[in-house]
Amino acid sequence: MARIVGIDLGTTNSLIAYMEGDAPRVIPGRHGRTLVPSVVAMTDNGLIVGDPAKEYLIRNPEHTIYSVKRFMGRGLADLAGELKYFPYILHEQGGVIRIQIGTKTYSPPQISAMILKELKLRAEEYLGEEIKKVVITVPAYFNDSQRQATKDAGMIAGLEVLRIVNEPTAASLAYGLQKRTQGTIAVYDLGGGTFDISILKLKNGIFEVLATNGNTHLGGDDFDRRVANLILKEVRDQYGLDREQYPDTLQAVRLEAERAKIRLSEDQKTTVAIELPARKGEYRREFTRDQLEALTMDLVEQTIGPCRLALKDAGLQPSEIDEVVLVGGSTRMPLVRQRVQELFGKVPHSELNPDEVVALGAAVQADILSGGTQDMLLLDVTPLSLGIETMGGVMSPLIRRNTTIPASAKEMFTTYVDGQTSVDIHVLQGERELAKDNRSLARFQLKVPPLPAGVPRVEVMFLIDANGILNVTAKDVRTSQSQSLEVKPSYGLSDEEVERMIGESFKFAAEDLKARQLIDARTEAEAILKATEKAFRLGGHLIS
């Protein structure tokens, strides 16, 4: 069987890994570095990716694209508060973000594909064989649009994406936690652009994801920005330099803020120095770890809420967690490790390089798919409920949130109007009781013969595969006529909307239930009235 490799397509850095015997290995570049910066630069000499491209962040920021993972499967409305941080032009077309570089425009999957091609080339040079099949990891809380965008990037790069694996789940595989006979594991994943928490149960080599939660709008980049914003304010106050006028200075500040954050994970203090060519001077100041923690304390706390929700969904207390795994470079921050330890009451694992652990796990999953590892099984979950709209605008879930995938479910529905010739199948995603409060994924119609209300029997079946791709089938049981479609949502989904769905399901639970009960009662009453009217119409003469 052809070799299958694992890829961690990250916001800040990307990696590619393979199995060497029984152990996963990250593939290094020509100079021994395993990390490929997720940066693409358009230069006069052509397109460059990785470390050489990162050099252009200051030299030519308008033509250098970074953090493209933040754009995957999203629209401009999702980035309203972030646009000022990007020196290149962003606009939207058909619900998809477009990145304009000179006279050309690129979609986020196109840019991600360039990074994937670089990783593919690295692996082919190192292994001496062509790479065609891959496993790619994504944040556990990535929605359908973002997962589809990731698969599209792989296709554009000439790769067959056999499986989309959640990053926290991959991390568990990398740590070899399958060697335990059983246990419960929490994986805390703070990456460059996203945060995820997953609770997994391990028994006899089977990894089952019990619950997942997160924030697709929070990552190491946001910590960098807190430092960068402070520096930019001081630069503006002291030198009169504005970020919009000097994008090269903005990028220099951003890079130095990132370096300062990294240094302060090891040291108590560091010096920040930035050359200001426009003023023929230099900005210099000392930063301490205490100052960094004061700037970012609230960001760390924003990761704790999703952890508590995931524990609640899994039906567990923090004390019932056996192992805690840290993933992502930002987990090197002492404050992050401290808060995680305080929450779970145990020291988290940190033996493996947090930058590499997801790629290593992706390689293990690739080995499972290729038949190399046969004593392990990975059972992931769907992050949001899936259902259809029924009479009165009610959401009827078929597959519930945190259901293990692959999964299928079917339910029988009928018509509510005499002589109805079609049934409208409206596919929804979310946690609210009413259809209007959930996200619309797709809509199609099934033709049915014109019969009295309640006579047609329409079976609706949902099938969601291991990648989280949904297939919906509706069948008229009497005629066996059916129609199905693969649900591929548009890229315009707001990340806040995804995260809000679960939050609002708690906040508005009582209100939603009352509204649903009212609609159910009204629908039932209308059906009784129609049946009574019909009975009078057909047999009224029998009543004396």
Measured distance between the N- and C-terminal CA atoms of the chain, rounded to whole angstroms: 81
C-alpha 106: how far from chain center: 21
Q: What is the DSSP letter of 344?
A: H
Alpha-carbon gap, residue 129 to 388, rounded angstroms: 46
Q: What is the dihedral of CA 488, 492, 495, 499, to 10 degrees?
A: -60
Alpha-carbon gap, residue 491 to 412, rounded angstroms: 31
Q: Which helix (H) or strand (E) holds 361?
A: helix 357-369
Non-local CB neighbours of 313 within 8 Å, separated by 6+ positions:
199, 210, 211, 213, 401, 402
> CATH assignment of 4-219+295-381, given 3.30.9.10, 3.40.50.620, 3.40.50.970, 3.30.420.40?
3.30.420.40
Q: Tell me if residue 320 falls in helix, strand or coil.
A: helix
Alpha-carbon gap, residue 513 to 437, rounded angstroms: 13
Give catalytic residues, as residue numbers: 8, 69, 167, 189
Instruction: List helix spans (H) across 185-328.
Output: 220-239, 247-263, 289-314
The pLDDT value given to residue 372: 66
- For the chain, the structural domain boundaries read 4-219+295-381, 220-294, 386-526
The pLDDT value given to residue 90: 86
Residue pLDDT tens, the chain, 544 long: 678 999 999 999 999 999 988 889 999 987 888 999 999 988 877 788 888 888 888 788 888 898 899 888 888 877 777 777 787 888 887 777 888 888 888 889 889 999 999 999 999 999 999 999 999 999 887 877 788 889 888 988 889 998 998 888 888 888 765 556 678 999 999 988 889 899 988 877 777 888 888 887 889 989 999 999 999 888 888 877 666 666 677 778 888 999 999 999 999 999 988 887 666 678 898 999 999 999 999 999 999 999 999 999 999 999 999 989 998 889 999 999 999 999 999 999 878 888 999 999 999 989 888 776 655 566 667 777 888 888 788 888 888 877 777 788 888 888 777 888 888 888 888 888 888 888 777 777 778 888 887 888 888 888 887 767 788 888 888 888 877 766 655 444 344 533 544 454 456 556 655 654 665 566 667 667 777 777 777 666 666 5
Rg of the chain taking only CA atoms, in angstroms? 26
Hey, CA dihedral for 290, 294, 299, 304, is it positive or negative?
positive
Alpha-carbon gap, residue 285 to 288, rounded angstroms: 10
The pLDDT value given to residue 345: 94
Residue type for position 298: D
Non-local CB neighbours of 129 within 8 Å, separated by 6+ positions:
3
Structure tokens at 506: 């708690």
Q: Tell me if residue 450 falls in helix, strand or coil.
A: strand
Alpha-carbon gap, residue 187 to 344, rounded angstroms: 11
70 close to 86: Cβ distance less than 8 angstroms? no
> CATH assignment of 220-294, given 3.40.50.300, 3.90.640.10, 3.40.50.1100, 3.40.190.10?
3.90.640.10
Structure tokens at 280: 């023929």
Topology of the domain covering 386-526: Substrate Binding Domain Of DNAk; Chain A, domain 1 (2.60.34)
| 500 CB neighbour count, 10 Å cutoff | 16
196 close to 214: Cβ distance less than 8 angstroms? yes
Whether the upstream peptide bond of residue 28 has omega within 30° of 0, thus cis, is: no
Angstrom distances, CA of residue 188 to CA of 79, 139, 383, 493: 25, 11, 16, 25
209 close to 193: Cβ distance less than 8 angstroms? no
DSSP secondary structure, 260-295, as one string: HHHHTTT-SEEEEEEEEGGGTEEEEEEEEHHHHHHH
> 386-526: same fold as 220-294?
no
238 close to 30: Cβ distance less than 8 angstroms? no
| Tens-digit pLDDT profile for residues 246-302 | 667 777 888 899 999 999 999 999 998 888 766 667 889 899 999 999 999 999 999
Best CA proximity match to 429, nearest among 378, 500, 485, 482: 500
17 close to 28: Cβ distance less than 8 angstroms? no
Q: What is the dihedral of CA 127, 131, 133, 139, to 10 degrees?
A: 70
C-alpha 425: how far from chain center: 27
Q: What is the DSSP letter of 195?
A: E
What are residue 414's phi and psi, to 5 degrees?
-145, -175
Best CA proximity match to 57, nearest among 224, 216, 215: 224
| 276 CB neighbour count, 10 Å cutoff | 18
Alpha-carbon gap, residue 404 to 487, rounded angstroms: 19
